[in-house]
């Protein structure tokens, strides 16, 4: 595999009555965490499964490092994936589960203990899988994905079932893996978490691409930042700010100002002798942007 870039071109999956994925194209760069977002039924899981050769596309292609997954030699050494809360034999220990995967993948069994350590499961290594909590199962899934030290990670809802400490751990782990130059493609419904975790986003709805770009770029594209100001002399402030500044008065009495920075507003108020009781920068958050971009496309098809 030359690089870890994922390229999806015109990917399509038609089930009998449903176009689950519809002429979808996007790219995912190495060295970055890319969030894969979409409402329920948007086609995320189907897309990831097509990339991993688990679902046959009706059209289009998905390649990883320039090759289709099916053509990769030794895929465990190139691509690690979690597609659902990891399954394992209920009576088998986490360590033995991983050792069996090592044997199946032609890896030294000592690798099992290394990845158990990476995901913080060493204390539970000998415990049976049936006694694992959902969060521990997710960690075991990540451990399995990391076995072959892959350049590319494809993770469907990896934070499912994790508690806040587990979510933070996952964030640090995935960011660290991307910093090492790996490609990390991760689907999630946790938008506030994605806003912190991801560098780039691919947003789909009803099987089609809605937006691709950096997190900041996508949020900024949905509207300029606003400054919320409270003052007992709104008219005085508006007059002092002059032309070229957009001001709306919110129901709660605050002014919402666009076209002027907080520094300009503060300095102008000082010069005009206008008291300021509150001055807050309001950026739209990813949740708002996501809901705007996918409005009406959340789809039970």
Residue 41 beta carbon to ligand ATP: minimum distance, rounded to whole angstroms: 4
What is the SS3 assignment for 65? coil
For ligand ATP, which stretch binds (CB under 6 A), given 13-21, 134-142, 214-222, 289-297? 13-21
By CB under 6 A, name the one of 4, 26, 35, 46 that touches ligand ATP: 46
Of 6 and 124, the one with the shorter C-beta distance to ligand ATP is: 6
Among 4, 35, 41, 141, interactor with ligand ATP by CB under 6 A:
41
Contact residue for ligand ATP among 8, 32, 34, 44 (CB under 6 A): 44
Should residue 168 be labelled a site residue for ligand ATP when binding is judged by CB under 6 A?
A: no
CB of 187 to ligand ATP, least distance (A): 7
d(CA 171, CA 198): 9
Site for ligand ATP contains 2 (CB under 6 A): no
Given 35, 43, 135, 141, the residue binding ligand ATP (CB under 6 A): 43
In whole angstroms, how close is the CB of 34 to ligand ATP at the nearest point? Answer: 15
CB nearer ligand ATP, residue 38 or residue 135: 38
User: Which DSSP symbol is given to 21?
Assistant: E
Q: Which residue's CB is nearer to ligand ATP, number 15 or number 172?
A: 15
Collapse the DSSP code of 273 into the 3-class scheme (helix H, G, I; strand E, B; otherwise coil) and give the result.
Answer: coil
What lies within 8 Å, CB to CB, of 220 at 6+ separation is none
The helix/strand/coil state of 154 is: strand
Long-range contacts at 216-224 (CB < 8 A, ≥ 24 apart)? 218/286, 218/289, 219/195, 219/283, 219/284, 219/285, 219/286, 219/289, 222/284, 222/288, 222/289, 222/292, 222/293, 223/284, 224/258, 224/259
Nearest 5 degrees, angle CA 195-CA 196-CA 201?
45
| Binding range to ligand ATP, per CB under 6 A, among 35-43, 94-102, 132-140, 245-253 | 35-43
Q: Which is nearer to ligand ATP, 39 or 80 (CB)?
A: 39
Pick 204 or 289: Cβ nearer ligand ATP: 204
Q: Which stretch binds ligand ATP (CB under 6 A): 14-22, 126-134, 165-173, 244-252?
A: 14-22
From the CB of 160, what's the least distance to ligand ATP, in Å?
Answer: 10
Is residue 294 within the footprint of ligand ATP (CB under 6 A)?
no
End-to-end CA distance of the chain: 37
Task: Assess 20 for contact with ligand ATP (CB under 6 A).
Answer: yes
Task: Name the one range near ligand ATP by CB under 6 A: 2-10, 41-49, 67-75, 162-170.
Answer: 41-49
* Six-digit token string for 62: 């998905």
Spatial CA neighbour of 94 closest among 38, 49, 136: 136
For ligand ATP, which stretch binds (CB under 6 A), given 34-42, 73-81, 96-104, 133-141? 34-42
The string of DSSP codes covering 206-270 is TTEEEEEEEHHHHHHHT---EEEEE-S-HHHHHHHH-TT-EEEE-TTS-EEEESS-HHHHHHHHH
d(CA 7, CA 29): 9
CA separation for the pair 241, 239 (Å, rounded): 6
The DSSP secondary-structure symbol of 179 reads H
| Residues at the contact surface with ligand ATP, assessed by CB under 6 A | 15, 18, 20, 38, 40-46, 301
């Amino acid at each position: 595999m030359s690089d870890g870039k994922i390229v999806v071109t015109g990917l399509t999956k038609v089930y009998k009555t449903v176009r689950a994925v519809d002429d979808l194209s996007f790219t995912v760069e190495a060295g970055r965490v890319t969030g894969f977002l979409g409402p329920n039924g948007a086609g995320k899981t189907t897309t990831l499964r097509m990339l991993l050769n688990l679902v046959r596309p009706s059209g289009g292609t998905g390649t990883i490092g320039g090759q289709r997954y099916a053509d990769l030699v030794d895929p465990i050494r190139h691509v690690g994936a979690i597609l659902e809360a990891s399954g394992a034999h209920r009576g088998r220990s986490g360590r033995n589960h991983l050792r069996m995967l090592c044997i199946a993948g032609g890896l030294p069994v000592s690798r099992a203990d290394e990845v158990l350590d990476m995901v913080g499961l060493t204390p539970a290594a000998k415990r049976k899988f049936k006694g694992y909590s959902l969060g521990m199962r997710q960690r075991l899934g990540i451990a399995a994905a990391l076995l072959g030290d892959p350049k590319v990670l494809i993770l469907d809802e990896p934070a499912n079932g994790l508690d806040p400490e587990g979510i933070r751990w996952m964030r640090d782990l995935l960011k660290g893996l991307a910093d090492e130059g790996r490609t990390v493609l991760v689907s999630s419904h946790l938008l506030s978490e994605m806003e912190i975790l991801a560098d780039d986003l691919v947003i789909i709805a009803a099987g089609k691409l809605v937006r691709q770009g950096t997190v900041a770029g996508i949020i900024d594209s949905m509207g300029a930042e606003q400054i919320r100001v409270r003052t007992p002399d709104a008219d005085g402030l508006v007059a002092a700010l002059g032309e070229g500044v957009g001001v709306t008065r919110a129901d709660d009495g605050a002014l919402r100002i666009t076209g002027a920075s907080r520094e300009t507003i503060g300095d102008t108020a000082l010069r005009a002798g206008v008291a300021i009781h509150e001055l807050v920068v309001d950026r739209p958050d990813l949740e708002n942007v996501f809901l705007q971009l996918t409005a009406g496309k959340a789809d039970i098809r």
